[in-house]
Amino acid sequence: MAQVFTELDKRLIEFMARQPMFFVATAPCLDASGAGGHVNVSPKGYRDTFAVLDSLTVAYLDLTGSGAETIAHLRQNGRITIMFCSFDREPKILRIQGTGRVVVPEDATWEEFAAHFPKAGLGTGMNPASHRAVIVVSIDRVADSCGYAVPRMDLVEERDLLTQWAERKSPEDLAAYRVKHNSLSIDGLPAIE
């Protein structure tokens, strides 16, 4: 049976830490009624890129990628859902709903938030220049559900293709890539500036 929680507790935090990936969902509001535009769902991987800041605040490290829908949607309306789904023995889905904000390296608070991801920095093989933002989420609602229909799967390994791609780029190359591919959402909303 599904439960709604007032905040993240130790048990939920430990559940999230065991998951090798999570999903992020956002949607734009393109008219006065709040409708329109493309809903976006993005899988996020790499351990050590998600952090619980306190019982009502989480954050994740946003890496340079093929699009910037989440960033564009958050800048427009802030709505976000993060879903953790267990693929192991425990059938469980956890959804965190709230309001997100984008912290980019040029922001005064960048170092404060980037410090929550020490294993994703120098010396790990991950190019710090590929860290395009930290997404900080103020939680409005936490709910779980059974996940009975979710298949059991074994994790073979994390893919390091994004890391390898970013390692071959200079900070200038990554900045140019973001200008070309991450400036606008598919609905034309501003994303990476």
DSSP three-state, residue 29 = coil
Determine the CATH number of domain 3-181. 2.30.110.10
Burial of 26-35, coded b for 16+ CB within 10 Å and e otherwise, reads: bbbeeeeeee
Computed over its alpha carbons, how large is the radius of gyration of the chain? 17
Domain boundaries, the chain: 3-181
Cβ-proximal residues to 103 (8 Å cutoff; 6+ apart), any chain: 109, 110, 113, 133, 134, 135, 136
Alpha-carbon distances of 158 from 3, 45, 143, 155, rounded to whole Å: 31, 8, 27, 8
Alpha-carbon distances of 175 from 79, 89, 178, 181, rounded to whole Å: 26, 41, 5, 10
CB 137 within 8 A of CB 82: yes
Sequential pLDDT tens for the chain (193 residues): 689 999 999 999 999 999 999 999 999 998 888 778 999 999 998 778 999 999 999 999 999 888 899 999 999 999 999 999 999 988 999 999 999 999 999 999 999 999 999 887 644 556 788 889 999 999 999 999 999 999 999 989 888 888 888 889 998 999 899 999 999 999 999 998 8
pTM recorded for the entire structure: 0.92
